[in-house]
Amino acid sequence: MPIIADERLKDLSNEEITRYSRHILLPEVGVEGQKRLNAARVLIVGTGGLGAPLALYLAAAGIGTIGVVDFDFVEASNLQRQVIHSTRDIDRPKTASAKDRIKGINPGVNVVIHNTRLNRENALDIFKDYDIAADGTDNYQTRYLVNDACVMLGIPNVYGSIYRFEGQASVFYAKEGPCYRCLFPAPPPPGLVPSCAEGGVLGVLPGIIGTIQACEVIKLIIGGGRLIGRLLLFDAWDMTFRELKIEKDPNCPICGKNPTIHELPDYERFCGLTPDSDSEPIETITATGLKERVDRGENLQIIDIREPHERAIAKFPGAKYIPLGQIARRADEFDPKIDAVFLCKIGQRSIFAIRALRDTGYKGRLLNLKDGVNAWARDVDKTLPRY
């Protein structure tokens, strides 16, 4: 059954035939295929590295309606890879910047902005108006949310992910094959896989994967070979492609024979990001608060858990370097009588370091530097770079 119903198709104008002539000349597309593209409604979740090429190429292809979901603002560090935004867009909402570029490429595209954080309360209401969702997110809780919303609404999920030099792409469509949960029944432990903001990413990598996603969206609409049931793996460093076959899991909790998920769950808790109710809360300290204590000459254990290549970017004064993976086995190096302050780039991995040390039975006071080294560079020592 075609994703786009025949009754939604409209004749092409002479101007549209000219604009899309290189598509129409392809027998696999033709006039009929271009009419389907023009009638399609595609939701892009995230306008970052993956969402940028997705939006640009889908706009150029003539997708009739492009929805864009994002709540973030453009930052200078985005511009190395998020090619839909420009220097003049810094501090603008990403959705506004993306809409301008989409309209600049193709004024005929209807752009629907969802300037909000996607969550289980609003996801189904947003997704229900679209034929396809393209996942350009960079965290597991949103990936599971996108998958589950697509399964519940019966629409394809065009998936992409990137990490440093490696990328993945697939199409998860429960009507015809496996879903994301069939491949990844559970997320990795919190902190095990850093985000692009913490681990870095080759700037062109999301362009390659996002363009592959755009290609799969187009083929879903017009018909053709698809990545359903296949996971494409790309290594930009070695310039290699591999492919894995994905089987539908009959015991999948959302698309299997006897599903147990009937409404969108708490994804923060599912991904281990919500501490147990009986766990001790993480105490934080601001950059200015830490500076005041240092200036008073207080005896502190300042622990920098970043990797060596990060410390080369911005060294933190007076810090002891213990990588995240070594915290538990080096617990005897900490003095429980002295407050310990943990820091990383943005104050996320340091939370996992504190939890790892607590799990060893350590009883000393542990504080997390809020927003990490970047906050120190922003609020205390402006000679340090923010990265």
Active-site amino acid positions? 196, 344
3-class SS of residue 247? coil
Long-range contacts of 284-288 (CB under 8 A, 24+ apart): 284/347, 284/367, 284/368, 284/369, 284/370, 285/341, 285/367, 285/368, 285/369, 285/370, 286/369, 286/370, 286/375, 286/379, 287/369, 287/370, 287/371, 287/375, 287/376, 287/378, 287/379, 287/380, 288/379, 288/380
3-class SS of residue 262? coil
Query: How far is residue 187 from each of residues 54, 140, 269, measured CA to CA in Å?
Result: 25, 7, 11
| CA proximity to 271, closest of 139, 74, 117 | 139
Q: Is 98 in contact with 68 (CB distance < 8 Å)?
A: yes
Residues 6+ apart with CB under 8 A from 146: 45, 118, 123, 133, 135, 137, 157, 180
What whole-number distance in Å separates Cα of residue 190 and Cα of residue 315? 25
